[in-house]
Structure 1
């Protein structure tokens, strides 16, 4: 079984400081506020800013968070609406290549993030009310509350990645 959540990242997350003890409703609130927080975080950027240790640029991280929210909203809705609770893993790097994340305009990525966050909030809220449980191919049992926390962490963690890019971009270059 694949380690995930606090068992993998620590509590709090040893990188981004995410506190895994938040309630599912608090996780929903964090994702609901995500488009506003990300818009403020990237204000004045082009989206192509990078950090040499990271594979993706700023717009790519926004695009990944968007796709992750969409993916999990769809999985929870599918289980809730059809009873099909078996879900596979997915390869985020393959999806990034297929969608050319590093070439997505930042304004478009932020537009998409707003729509994905709205759909995710609706889907996760309904899944929590109906106690939806997924059977993930790699992670095993994933209750709706696990998905809520995992996705809120993903967004917080990638905001931390974007901040790392910003710190690197602010450093003067030496000749």
Structure 2
């Protein structure tokens, strides 16, 4: 399915890549969005994902979803496409952690993906539908994690180590934080 908006061919100004190591959110409340990842019970991750989806759908259906608030700040559409892809990536990472012993996750360059997939040209309604499907799949994946699996380990290519529990908490921060970014 073509999710690109055919009328827009101008490449928007580049967004400075986010080089921060956000793993600190596992230890401290985020001062920007207020989310405290360590307070999240892992068994609540799936339900929280499902609870947040309507806010994303509503934001993506706003008239100004394509508009960047500043030239170098993503639009709601771009953030929504990113969150859709975050859902997909984390679904796969949880699968790897549950099925393999201490997997090394394939690298994912979120900024390159945004450029290559032209998040700015995608159709907000299609992105909303795809985000719903990705959220359902990811929530379903978290629902299948057993008590014994929450402490299984996995690693990012930069060396950051996670358990299924901390990966889920870290993932939820991303989803919540970007809702804060788009004022939804």
| TM-score under structure 1 length normalisation | 0.80
Confirm whether residue 156 of structure 1 aligns to residue 156 of structure 2: no
- 1:171 aligns with none
- 2:77 aligns with 59
Distance in 1 (CA, whole Å) between partners of 2:159 and 2:34 is: 22
Q: How far is the alpha carbon of 1:99 from its aligned partner?
A: 1.0
- 1:77 aligns with 95
Confirm whether residue 16 of structure 1 aligns to residue 36 of structure 2: no
**In the alignment, which of 120, 132, 136 is matched to residue 102 of structure 1?**
120
Q: Is the 8 A contact 2:26 2:36 kept in 1?
A: no
Q: Is the 8 A contact 2:81 2:127 kept in 1?
A: yes
Distance in 1 (CA, whole Å) between partners of 2:74 and 2:21 is: 24
**In the alignment, which of 23, 47, 61 is matched to residue 65 of structure 2?**
47
CA distance 1:50–1:9, shift in 2 (3 Å): farther
CA shift digits 1:65-110 (9 cap, x unpaired): 0101100101221332344611143211100011110111110111
How many residues align? The count is 162
Confirm whether residue 113 of structure 1 aligns to residue 131 of structure 2: yes
Where do 5+ consecutive residues of structure 1 fail to align?
167-175
Q: Secondary structure at the match of 2:30?
A: coil
Higher helix share: 1
CA distance 1:96–1:8, shift in 2 (3 Å): same
Distance in 2 (CA, whole Å) between partners of 1:40 and 1:10 is: 31
Q: Is the 8 A contact 2:103 2:153 kept in 1?
A: yes
Distance in 1 (CA, whole Å) between partners of 2:36 and 2:43 is: 14
Higher mean alpha-carbon deviation, 133-142 vs 40-49, is at: 40-49
- 1:169 aligns with none
Where do 5+ consecutive residues of structure 2 fail to align?
1-19
Distance in 2 (CA, whole Å) between partners of 1:147 and 1:160 is: 20
